[in-house]
A and B are shown apart, each in its own frame.
Chain A
Amino acid sequence: MPEGDVSVPIRSDADVVAARSLGRSVAESHGFGATDVTMIATAISELARNILKYAQEGEIMVEPIRRDSQAGVSVVARDAGPGIADVGLAMQDGFSTANSLGLGLPGTRRLMDEFEIVSSVGSGTVVRAIKWLR
């Protein structure tokens, strides 16, 4: 994975595989172990799926980050889709608007250390999640 290639456009199911492969590669090259790498890749998979399902297209960015002396990996999922009317409700286990397993957001949050979602109806959704290296 070349340095700087941190973003994957999400438009098809093949892009979901590409995005989690990018996440795996960035996390592995920054010292994450197999369990954390898999959690990051799984979280990316779910976020990419939500983009496809609700916004049809968007992008996933994966970058190494540093805060004070702590190193980690940041995942950003961005789309310009319909947005989420009630983020609080969407973060509850079992909530779904598309008759599926739910948005998967509560589960995705459990896979990561930090999870933040900013969404407004009509202008899209940005999810930022971080996993810290232990």
Chain B
Amino acid sequence: MPVPILKQGDCLIASIQSALTDAELLDLRDELSGRVGRHRSKGVIIDVTALDVLDSFASRTLRTIAEMMRLRGAETVIVGIQPEVAFSMVQLGLSLDGVTTVLDLEEGLAHLERGRRNRVANARG
């Protein structure tokens, strides 16, 4: 099933609703990459609360998405990794090095809002 992507201000929020196949994860990557350009987004939140497994392919794809978004000028924040999913990722030797991860959607929005304030402050000098 496709992942709904909401636009909120200069952020995009991709809210994964159920387990995804590899093809669906790659569709999400391509869809986000296009939308970041269309909406000139500065931040992307990917909510993985509904994912019961984050295996090697999913981890690699999330890292790829984050790096693609960075190259397109947007910061990616992964939110909602469940405790048992985090434990299995560590056991398996997976990491999301270089990707910002926070507890939940609320924290994710707050993180991007801080980044936005810093940009405004810097622009004013």
Contacts and interface: CB of A to CB of B under 8 A. Distances in A.
B84 A111 contact: no
Contacts of A41: 52-53
Main secondary structure of the interface of B (DSSP, over half): helix
Contacts of A100: 56
Given A17-B19, A104-B92, A111-B92, A35 B87 contact: yes
A78 interface: no
B118 interface: no
Contacts, number: 68
B91 A21 contact: no
Interface footprint category on A: 20 to 34
B26 to A, nearest CB: 9
Contact of A93 (B21, B53, B93, B94): B93
A100 B55 CA distance: 13
A110 interface: yes
A17 B21 contact: yes
B17 interface: no
Contacts of B92: 42, 46, 104, 107-108, 110-111
Contacts of B83: 35
30 contacts: A13-B23, A16-B21, A16-B22, A21-B19, A24-B52, A35-B83, A35-B88, A37-B84, A38-B82, A38-B84, A38-B88, A39-B87, A39-B88, A42-B55, A42-B91, A46-B56, A46-B92, A49-B56, A93-B93, A101-B56, A101-B60, A104-B56, A104-B92, A106-B93, A107-B56, A110-B91, A110-B92, A110-B93, A111-B88, A111-B91
Given A16-B21, A38-B87, A39-B88, 15 more contacts: A13-B23, A14-B21, A17-B21, A20-B19, A20-B52, A35-B84, A35-B87, A35-B88, A38-B52, A39-B84, A42-B92, A49-B56, A49-B57, A107-B92, A110-B93
Interface of B: 19-23, 52-57, 60, 82-85, 87-89, 91-94
